[in-house]
Structure 1
Amino acid sequence: MTDDRLAPTRPFLAASVAVVRDGRVLLAARGKEPMRGLFTLPGGLVEVGETLAEAALRELHEEVGVAASVIGPIRPVEIILRDEAGRVASHFVIQAHAAHWRAGEGETGPEALDVRWADAAEAERLPTTPGLPDIVRAAIAMAEATR
């Protein structure tokens, strides 16, 4: 059986979460391809029967050992990568969420090579997945508005 994510026949639905604590968002450097080593939000594929927010919180705990409470959705991000011949190599639709931090510092592991709490300016300087700095800014603004 092949992993359809590596030779997609359809887009994959995923969810991520921007956990805000003291004006900073938890970022994780991807441990796997595609985009291994780039900083992004913890997240992953939505399982059948799971809401987007539930998937985001589950992945957050599984990947980096952090607990949070979702404030609300930010916006979806589409990641479409192509191979040298121009064929679609991967296609993900990821719904980003903002959340308030509850517990955990963030741990590295197979899914996260590095973790760090970054403000919006630092997110601008890091090597990140597409659109991440805008999502970080939106999450911080949502968290400040709901405190």
Structure 2
Amino acid sequence: MEPATSAIRPVLAASTAVFHEGRVLLARRGKAPSLGLWTLPGGRVEPGETLADAAAREVREEVGVDCAVLGVAGALDIIQHDAAGALAAHFVVVSHAARWIVGEPATGPEAAEVGWFEPDALPAETTPGLQGIVDAAVLVVQAMEGPDAM
């Protein structure tokens, strides 16, 4: 007999570190997974959608901002277990760096709070690995737009 976790498969998702005036846009999760934690806007990649298109779409849907995706900043496995220790979810999140184009960040069902933060002064309550992804995204922006871009 196969273990109960065999039905759980990794889910591909995309997130985006959107930069504007040297700050990065974060959203505090308004629902599970990671309820209450600050993170990058993001979500599942739809069939037939590129990672970059998914990244930009999720930013638009979650926080109402349009952005130009510059490149991939990194990837993280988000593996969650239930109270009994059984595997509950596995997300593979490919994170991108982007430049803000237009729009004022707004809250919604998935983003209970939004804000612009200095890349080296993120809030304490973030999703695991967020600082490393933001640091990598800064390097992508600088590589694409020059060392003074930030």
Please, what TM-score do these two structures have when normalized by structure 1? 0.90
Once the two structures are TM-superposed, the CA of residue 120 in structure 1 deviates from its matched residue by 2.0
Q: 2:121 is paired with a residue of what secondary structure?
A: helix
- Runs of 4+ with deviation above 3 angstroms: none
Residue 24 of structure 1 aligns to which amino acid in structure 2? Answer: R
Instruction: Please give the secondary structure, in 1, of the residue aligned with 2:24.
Output: strand
**CA deviation string 1:29-79 (max 9, x = no partner):** 011112111000001000000001101111100010001111101111100
2:143 to 133, 140, 145: 145
Corresponding residue of 1:131: 129
Query: Contact 2:8–2:88 at 8 Å: present in 1 too?
Result: no
Mapped partners of 2:10, 2:96: distance in 1? 19
CA distance in 1, matches of 2:103, 2:140: 21
Mark the runs of 5 or more structure 1 residues left unpaired by the alignment.
1-6
Aligned to 1:78: 77
Tell me what 2:16 maps to. Answer: 17
Distance 1:16 1:29 in 2: 14
Distance 2:120 2:7 in 1: 35
Percent identical residues: 54
Q: Deviations over 1:102-145 (max 9, x none)?
A: 1112100111011011112221x421001001111121222233
Q: Indicate the residue corresponding to 1:101 in structure 2.
A: 100
Unaligned runs of 5+ in 2: 1-5, 146-150
**TM-score normalised over the length of structure 2:** 0.88
Distance in structure 1 (CA, Å) of the matches to 2:120 and 2:72: 22
Distance 2:100 2:124 in 1: 22
- Write the distance in 1 (CA, Å) between the matches of 2:129 and 2:19: 17
Question: Secondary structure, in 3 states, of the residue corresponding to 2:80?
Answer: strand
Matched, 1:120 2:125: no
Larger radius of gyration: 2
* Alignment root-mean-square deviation, CA: 1.4
Q: Judging changes above 3 Å, is the alpha-carbon distance between structure 1 residues 8 and 62 closer, same or farther for their aligned structure 2 residues?
A: farther
2:59–2:65 CA contact under 8 A, matched in 1: yes
Per the alignment, do residues 52 and 33 of structure 1 end up closer, same or farther by CA in structure 2, a change over 3 Å counting?
Answer: same
Matched residue type, 1:131: G
User: How far apart in 1 are the matches of 2:115 and 2:135?
Assistant: 16
